[in-house]
Chains A and B, each alone.
Chain A
Amino acid sequence: MSDPNTHVEGARPIELAHDREAISTLIETLLDQAEKVGYGSSAIFAIRLAIEEAITNAFEHGHEGLSPDLTISVEYRVSPQIIEIAIEDQGPGFSPEALPDPTLLENLSKPSGRGVMLMKAYMSEVDFNSRGNRVRMRYFNPGS
């Protein structure tokens, strides 16, 4: 099976360190661009939540047990119609299909396992590469 294309075409990859200030700066830059081209407050809320979850997953789960100095790669493109964000970690990857449903009654009291479901709930499309170490999220601007 061929690997689905989960890159953002034409985007320059940004190496992002596990550093809160660098993470916040990248997210704020992206959201500023989104606001300027017409994304509303609910879109900005959705995109912020999804990118925070994806970056947390990459560092906390993707790089679990690996060096804290490892960076992740972020690609993004903002246009009035669509925002695309791809995040790749250097870990072995995971199988998103294998995640338990966190909304089942028996899982409600478990403190983790909601990041991917929130990304899927708030973004228009969420695709993983076959290794499971890169995710691409797309948000189509409902106001465009």
Chain B
Amino acid sequence: MKKKSNKPKSITENGEREAPFRLLLAVLLSALAAGLGYAVLSLPSPPPGLSSHVAANLETSGVSNPVTAVLLNFRGYDTLLELGVLLLALLGVWSLGVAPEHHEPPPGPVLDMLTRLLAPLLILVAGYLLWVGAHAPGGAFQAGSVLAAAGVLLLLTGWRPGAGFSGLPLRITLAAGLGVFVVVGVVLMLLGGRLLEYPPSFAGALILLIEAAATLSIGTTLAALFLGGRPEAGPRR
């Protein structure tokens, strides 16, 4: 595929490659899709699954929403590592530079009013989703993303965290989810269990504790990702 169109490309153009190449690619990918489709259609009919295992152990998990039980209890280490991935992505973004100055004009009356109305409501909804996640659809990820939506809305209207918050307090908030998760896991190991093996009597409270910290961290991390760079801490220059 060495052929090259010589015209300069602007970002509104497609920048596509030659037709024979695209045809060959389309044929190959159709074959791939057909093969994958055949694999799905030929799966065994009574599907093996883990739902019976989850249902059998749901009483000991501390919550009654099976998805939350899987996320925070049965496969808790997945979620633990996932929070690590979030933190790593933020570190990657921060290492690329400081957040750009925002040049947006001050928000119009509609956005301003909407944000004033929506931001408290979104925070309330996040708290509700966090609480209800134990027995209904909801949980730390949904609550965290709603919290991040409130943060993004505030950032869009020109609000920036003050210099007092963007230093150590911000970093503690970002690391809280992973930190609480690891501390709970290690303390449970020291008490004689295995990593993230909650005693059934405390499981509900521990899950809520971890979820609360994770919600704060996820919300702050996603909003900080939207900011697109590390904030300048403290007095500048």
The judgment on whether A and B are partners is: no
Enumerate chain B interface residues (CB-CB to A < 8 A): none
